[in-house]
Structure 1
Amino acid sequence: MDTLAPRATEDPEQHLAELVRLHRVLTIRSAVYWDCRTHLFAEQVRSLFDDGVSLARRLFQHDPAEGTRTLARNLIDRSTFHTAAREFRPALDDFRQALSYLEEAN
């Protein structure tokens, strides 16, 4: 990912969608890893979910056609994280926002 991030900045058309996809895979794997190993689960992975939503927002701004569903998916992922961390208000907010993007896409 370290080499892909600068490429995504230089040429988002070519690399941003792949960076978002790869970040999502690593985020979910990290969440599973930390959930099983520590009570610090939320502290260890919160920034990964936030970064994933930020990357998806960049993709949405650059390519709304692909970015809409990607942003909704990442918001749902973060909503699921918030639920697991027992943070229900942010979970609901992210879920509602994801639904609004999915409604736009259809």
Structure 2
Amino acid sequence: MSIEKKYLKTKNICKVTFHLPAGAASGAETAFLVGEFNDWAMHTLPMKRLKDGSFKLTIDLPSGTTYQFRYLLDDDRWENDWSADSYCYSEYGNCENSVVEV
């Protein structure tokens, strides 16, 4: 898993690419990026499935912020990004969320 960040020089925006490798996706047909940046809406940020079975998505996030997030696979399985900047417990207390800092 990886997170790539590209900061724009002219705007206070960071282009963040989230990549879920095929091994972590475990044969999933669909993957969605879900987090604070989309109010935890489960189906608003679909990730593109690549030929090798991995998933990728790039979104713009305001610089100077942190966001909790997770990946939703096949609408029934949650996965963290183990290359996230940090982790924190969910407000529901039953899992850890990945954190990206931009």
> Could you tell me the TM-score, scaled by structure 2's length?
0.28
More helix by share: 1
More strand by share: 2
Instruction: Between the two structures, name the one with larger relative contact order (CA 8 Å, sep ≥ 6).
Output: 2
Larger radius of gyration, structure 1 or 2? 1
> Could you tell me the TM-score, scaled by structure 1's length?
0.27
